[in-house]
Chain A
């Protein structure tokens, strides 16, 4: 296969909160259309890494390029870059004062990316795609966790992003609702979306990931295909972690 376009390029990323060094030295490239799953014990810096990608956290050192734009450069208009990076949060973060349709259409309309009519049409289409057409007028408080997370995915997709970031999207869900969210994510991966996913769902990683990054203590310890990482891990820390979760 010909060289694919590099969507995310991280070089020597370091991130500290005060004296606490969360990411110590991390470099990685992610290609267009690739599904990358980040595994690792809690506190290993996975979520922080994800939040650095769209600059919800400012980096302490190092550079991050998204689609050729250096987002760690202070002169870059980060709002413009974020329009192309969808993010799905562990606790959904749906806008509580807006109904489902308003949640999805607010950003595209407010940022003048779509007319109100186009945004509504797009929202209806996305809701159909995540199986929630009947919830268009509901408020977040009236939805189950799984429904909230599917709306959150639709909201992110409404901006037509090139990359989707998932920060433990199923960790706050009741077990019976995990499946419905993972199904939507699998469809998205099958459509060729570039995805970076922090999750504890080993099954999802095995089935959907093109590559798994195993992080521990702020370092990228090991990376490879799901088969390499899950079935033939080389590093002691990876083996130790997998023994605990599998």
Chain B
């Protein structure tokens, strides 16, 4: 165990950094994607509802691993076949796209539920004063929805952090992938995976502890 930490410690920490980088980038895009499709879903326009539902159903209906393969191998192959021979996606780019799309679909559902939890009278009051739908959303409904959404959003953060490990299959050097390399070099699978597991555990537990604190602080203001 100690020998692994001695020879591969730095590598493991760098890999953890890569994991967190991938996760944070994906989360930022997922929030944007989630917000757009959630707004589609709560809009009173049939076409927008259909767009929102199709996206959420399609992405949730495909395993992340298949989505990752599709984007990393399938999409570039298709674009190249269409004549753009120089088109490539790096493992990081493909990973962020796959994770953002996946997490974005779940985020859309969280945000939709949050918006629907806000009393309809809030938007009606805003509209009755002459404010537009967008103003009502921005100033009144979304800030109130955010409060109820925080626990689910942090839960989704944790799931996404764990999902980064799936992207080891497209060769992105995140923590799980580095774990595979170390195991290949040392043949010490028990020690290697115990260390990798504990590293995930530490980051995720601190994240959920932090989320509890944020929740408590938000509730004080009520």
Query: Quick check: which of B132-140, B170-178, B199-207 contacts chain A, the rest being far away?
Result: B132-140
Number of A-B contacts (CB under 8 A): 66
Q: Complex formed: what's the CA distance from A80 to B130 in Å?
A: 6
Q: Which of A56, A82, A110, A155 has the most CB of B within 10 A?
A: A110
Contacts of A152 in B (CB 8 A): 125
Query: B143: nearest residue on chain A (CB-CB)?
Result: A97
Nearest B-chain residue to A103, judged by Cβ: B125
Evaluate contact between B129 and A93: CB separation under 8 angstroms: no
Which residues does chain B contribute within 8 Å of A54, judged by CB atoms?
Answer: 128
Cβ of B135 and Cβ of A110 under 8 Å apart? Answer: yes
**Is residue B127 contacting chain A, with contact meaning CB distance below 8 A?**
yes
Contacts of B132 in A (CB 8 A): 79
The B103-145 residues at the A interface (CB cut-off 8 A) are: 119, 121-122, 124-132, 135, 139-140, 143-144
How many residues belonging to B are interface residues under a CB distance threshold of 8 Å? Answer: 18
Cross-chain contact of A155 among B121, B129, B135, B139 (Cβ < 8 A): B129
Number of A residues with CB within 8 Å of any CB on chain B:
27
User: How far apart are A140's CB and chain B's nearest CB, in angstroms?
Assistant: 11
Q: Which of B121, B129, B135 has most A Cβ within 10 Å?
A: B129
Docked pose: A24 CA to B192 CA in angstroms: 76
List 18 interface pairs A-B (beta carbons < 8 Å), by A numbering: A80-B130, A82-B129, A82-B130, A89-B128, A93-B119, A93-B122, A93-B124, A94-B125, A95-B126, A95-B139, A97-B140, A97-B144, A98-B139, A106-B129, A110-B131, A155-B125, A159-B129, A159-B130
